[in-house]
Chain A
Amino acid sequence: MIELGLQQVVNGLLVGAIYAVMALGLMVILGILNVINMAQGELYMLGGYFSYFAIALLHVDYFTSIALAMLLTAGCGVVVERLAVRPLRDRPFFTVFLSTFAASMVLQDLAQIFWTPEPREIPSPFAPAPIVLGPVFLTRQRVFVFLLALVMVAAFTAFLRWTRVGMAIRALARDREAALLMGIDAERMYMLTFALGSALAAAAGALLGAMFNVYPTMGELPLLKGFALVIMGGMGSVGGVFVSGLILGVAEGLTAGFLSTRWVDVVAFGTLIVVLLIRPEGLSGWGRRGA
């Protein structure tokens, strides 16, 4: 019983870290462009497919395929920004929300048409032999995925905090007018932000896709879970989002282990609803200085 619990906690931490990566992509676009990008789930899906095709067609290794997927998806993100976000810059918030929703519908449908709804498996480069840590079994792949997720979060935070572009992006988020007066090229920063958010989604998609296969609708749930995390994390705090991601992952793992795998997806939204009822301002209170 305890072994099972422990195993599920560890599994949950791994998945949760990737949810956090997904949520950070959403959060950076929301924070800087003030856009809820409903197409983020499809960018996640594209990340999974690009990684799959890079391995299947170009015969690159798994790591290179993730890098390629991030790069290509960033390009796709820029296209989405150009077509569905930029022309609507001065329109109300919900208008842009709906136009990214439309982009999401189109992308998902195109994936169904060109790549069929059949799930595809990203071949794992890791030896199937698990690492045994006392009662807990871990595949090398999961360990790697977790570490990579950690690296991404760290790199993302460092990028925003210490690079010139990161500083410009944070300035735009804090006070658009003042940032423009300082000579920051807002359009370019918006594009970069969208590319960055898309690359994070692609990374999450390639990482989770390797565990759970890739298919055209794979992005729907991670998108919504990402939102749940952005809200639970306190809307704009990297630390809050990351911790919320881990909590969500563990809660899901325990639900799968002790209740039923069918109810796993209720956990995210159930938790979100409970958090909203108890603490509408989100769980953060820590790490509020982030992006």
Chain B
Amino acid sequence: MPRRAAWTLAAVLLAALPAVVTSPYARHVVITALVFTFVALGLNLIFGYAGQHAFGHPMFFGVGAYASALLALEAKWPVALAIVAGAAITMMIAAAVGYPCFRLRGIYFGVATFAFARVIYIVAQNWVSLTRGPMGIPAVPPLDVLPAGWTGGVATETRLHVVLVALLAVTLFLLDRVIDSPIGRAWIAIRENEGLAASVGIRPLRYKMAAFAGGGLLAGLGGGLYAHYIGFVSPTELGFHYIGIVFIMMIGGGTGTLVGPVIGALVFGVLPEVLRVAESARNTLLGGILLLSIAFLPEGLVGLWGRAARSIERRRRAAAPSGPAGREPRASSAEPRTAGRGLSPRLAGTADDSLEVRGVTKRFGGLTVLRDVTFTVRAGEIVGLIGPNGAGKTTLFNIATGFLEPTAGEVRYGGERVSGRAPASIAALGITRTFQITNLFPELTVEDNVRIAAHTWARAGVAGVLSRSRRYRAAEREIDGAVEQALALTRLTAERRTPARVLSYGAQRSLEMAVALATCSRLVLLDEPAAGLNAEETEQLRALVVTLRGRGTTILVIEHDMRLVMGLCDRIVVLDHGEKIAEGTPRAIVDDPQVVEAYLGTPEGAGHA
């Protein structure tokens, strides 16, 4: 595997650096930079992957430094143990800080984490009996994994360097596994489109917390290593300066990439030392570097590599136009995988698997959008929900999938109350939906869009993800199989590597169907799936819905294309001005005078219709 070979080579070269770098000062700079790779990787989890603007997050570097130093000095723990325990404590503190902060969104969340950073700084300055205040903690014992006498004449700094590189290699190896797993996919899904992520069963708060606390663990680890290397901890380590530096490392290296923060930490950790003219101008230099890298390296150093690779690829393709384009897909589309249960509903159905809408009323202020709507969708049915624009159809979907709460009444599914639950929790019951306005993960490939949707039925434990256990690998194969089938059914296999945003409109709607399919839900709510499709695409959609039903899926569909609705549905529910005005077979609905009136107006008002 060339990828693994390249990684190993990089690690060995990095570990062998002390052979070339001989000046003690230069070695010191490199070790410090290595320590910061962990902090930058931690920030990258929450900021780069989960996409949460946790501006204060690098403070956990200082928290880890304090925790580890205090454990080693006050509790007299062995240094290695103190570092590990310090990182674990930091993770717990991060969880405690993250929880209240996640009540806010976007930039306000970021500012709240900043406020916490400041509180922790002030506590470190003033809780003198614990932290010795601004004086700091001197004489923190150094880290040495080898017992005295076993050092073989290798300098302390060199040994530490090799240990750090080894630790970094292990960290990256494990991080790679986490990122390429349902956990990492859930983070990316939340970053790209939190609403859609929730509607395919990803609980945003849980995964954001995991990224925040996991990032805290890494930052705390870096802090512990730093404390025992420098031998001194002070409130400075909790200050803005370090927060700024860690951001420069992550952004300059490449946000949301695996190795970007490592490269960033090494380059931007060493660069200021090399360029430095005077100690006092340090921040000016760092600020300048940050400004320049924001302006000219929007994707970081890693992005530079990507740009170069793309231009080489283009040149090569221009030279040999007959060559195969792009990489080979993971599974050949000629023989679709049929392993496992494919796209059949994954959750065991109960006897009464029907969706019951009971007396649902929804008011927005003085406006009543739904008034006492009651109907039932029985297991295995295809039911159409029709009505003029503004009748409240989408509002009903939003209530049934947890995006809105009803003012009165309730929605039950399989005997369980659904309304009032969070979208992700409803998805876990086996209900999924599509959206009236195209709703995808635009920056991700077609395949990744579909893969994320398997989240509901293919969650994985951290232990399984890290160890790649037999069960985990079996589950991933199941996901592969389901993704293949969903792509094949929606005729998207050939475009699996295309980012969703560049697909044609029709293909985007197909992809939404593929996402809904891959959730393997028992009940699928389709919101105007045929809107904007041409005749051929509509026919494909019809066939797809029939196939879905054949697999045991129940379907409730909002649609304006009457020919489609009449041909497809077993029963139809008609809403008008928020009230149910009719319910019955397509035949009966067409002949219902009230329905005709709602669509065409009364004979007197016909001229306005």
Chain A residues proximal to chain B, CB less than 8 Å: 36, 83-84, 87-88, 91, 93-95, 97-99, 101-106, 108-110, 112-113, 220-221, 224, 227-228, 231, 235, 262-263, 265-266, 268-270, 272-273, 276-277, 280
Q: Is B244 an interface residue (CB 8 A)?
A: yes
CB contacts (< 8 Å) of A109 on chain B: these are 280-284, 287
Bound complex: CA A224 to CA B112 (Å): 10
> Which 8 pairs of residues, A with B, have the shortest CB-CB distance?
A105-B287, A109-B283, A106-B287, A102-B290, A269-B115, A102-B287, A109-B284, A105-B283
Q: Is B291 an interface residue (CB 8 A)?
A: yes
- Could you tell me if B288 and A273 are in contact, using CB atoms closer than 8 angstroms? no
Bound complex: CA A275 to CA B589 (Å): 53
Bound complex: CA A272 to CA B123 (Å): 16
Distance of B186 from chain A, by nearest CB (Å): 21
CB contacts (< 8 Å) of A102 on chain B: these are 244, 286-288, 290-291, 294
CB contacts (< 8 Å) of B244 on chain A: these are 101-102, 105
Bound complex: CA A276 to CA B100 (Å): 7
**Interface majority SS (helix, strand, loop, mixed), chain A:** helix
Q: Is B240 an interface residue (CB 8 A)?
A: yes
5 cross-chain CB contacts under 8 A: A99-B294, A109-B284, A113-B281, A228-B115, A269-B122
**Interface 1/0 per residue, B225-238 and A, CB below 8 Å:** 00000000000000
CB contacts (< 8 Å) of A98 on chain B: these are 247, 251, 290, 294
Bound complex: CA A280 to CA B112 (Å): 11
Bound complex: CA A165 to CA B110 (Å): 31
Bound complex: CA A262 to CA B281 (Å): 30
Distance of A212 from chain B, by nearest CB (Å): 17
- Could you tell me if B286 and A105 are in contact, using CB atoms closer than 8 angstroms? yes
* Chain B: CB-nearest residue to A84: B291
B: contact size bracket? 35 or more
CB contacts (< 8 Å) of A231 on chain B: these are 104, 108, 111-112
CB contacts (< 8 Å) of B103 on chain A: these are 276-277, 280
- Could you tell me if A108 and B298 are in contact, using CB atoms closer than 8 angstroms? no
CB contacts (< 8 Å) of B247 on chain A: these are 98, 101
Bound complex: CA A8 to CA B414 (Å): 62
- The answer, among A91, A221, A273, for a CB contact under 8 Å with B119, is A273
CB contacts (< 8 Å) of A93 on chain B: these are 53, 106-107
Bound complex: CA A280 to CA B103 (Å): 7
Residues 277-313 (chain B) with a chain A CB within 8 angstroms: 280-284, 286-288, 290-291, 294-295, 298
A87 and B290 in contact, given A227-B111, A273-B116 (Cβ under 8 angstroms): no
CB contacts (< 8 Å) of A95 on chain B: these are 294, 298
Bound complex: CA A99 to CA B107 (Å): 15
Q: Is B27 an interface residue (CB 8 A)?
A: no
- Could you tell me if A224 and B115 are in contact, using CB atoms closer than 8 angstroms? yes
CB contacts (< 8 Å) of B110 on chain A: these are 94, 97
CB contacts (< 8 Å) of A224 on chain B: these are 114-115, 118
Bound complex: CA A84 to CA B298 (Å): 14
CB contacts (< 8 Å) of B282 on chain A: these are 109
Report the number of A-B residue pairs with Cβ-Cβ less than 8 Å. Answer: 114
Bound complex: CA A98 to CA B114 (Å): 13
* Chain B: CB-nearest residue to A107: B287
- Could you tell me if B294 and A108 are in contact, using CB atoms closer than 8 angstroms? no
Q: Is B126 an interface residue (CB 8 A)?
A: yes
Q: Is B489 an interface residue (CB 8 A)?
A: no
* Chain B: CB-nearest residue to A35: B107
A91 and B298 in contact, given A109-B281, A269-B118 (Cβ under 8 angstroms): yes
CB contacts (< 8 Å) of B55 on chain A: these are 97
A263 and B126 in contact, given A88-B294, A98-B251, A269-B119 (Cβ under 8 angstroms): yes
- Could you tell me if A105 and B290 are in contact, using CB atoms closer than 8 angstroms? yes
- Could you tell me if B100 and A273 are in contact, using CB atoms closer than 8 angstroms? yes
Q: A102-B290, A224-B114, A266-B122 are in contact. List 8 more A-B contacts (CB 8 A).
A: A91-B298, A93-B53, A97-B107, A98-B290, A103-B287, A105-B244, A106-B283, A112-B283
CB contacts (< 8 Å) of B125 on chain A: these are 262
CB contacts (< 8 Å) of A272 on chain B: these are 112, 115
Bound complex: CA A174 to CA B530 (Å): 35
Bound complex: CA A26 to CA B280 (Å): 29
Q: Is B101 an interface residue (CB 8 A)?
A: yes
- Could you tell me if A99 and B291 are in contact, using CB atoms closer than 8 angstroms? yes
Bound complex: CA A273 to CA B247 (Å): 24
A277 and B100 in contact, given A94-B110, A220-B240, A224-B114 (Cβ under 8 angstroms): yes
CB contacts (< 8 Å) of A273 on chain B: these are 100, 112, 115-116, 119
Bound complex: CA A273 to CA B101 (Å): 8
- The answer, among A88, A227, A280, for a CB contact under 8 Å with B114, is A227
* Chain B: CB-nearest residue to A94: B53
Residues 91-137 (chain B) with a chain A CB within 8 angstroms: 100-101, 103-104, 106-108, 110-112, 114-116, 118-119, 122-123, 125-126
CB contacts (< 8 Å) of A262 on chain B: these are 125-126
- The answer, among B100, B101, B107, B291, for a CB contact under 8 Å with A103, is B291
CB contacts (< 8 Å) of A110 on chain B: these are 284
Bound complex: CA A273 to CA B104 (Å): 11
CB contacts (< 8 Å) of A104 on chain B: these are 287
CB contacts (< 8 Å) of B112 on chain A: these are 231, 272-273, 276
* Chain A: CB-nearest residue to B105: A280
- Could you tell me if B295 and A87 are in contact, using CB atoms closer than 8 angstroms? yes
Distance of B120 from chain A, by nearest CB (Å): 9
Bound complex: CA A91 to CA B107 (Å): 15
* Chain A: CB-nearest residue to B240: A220
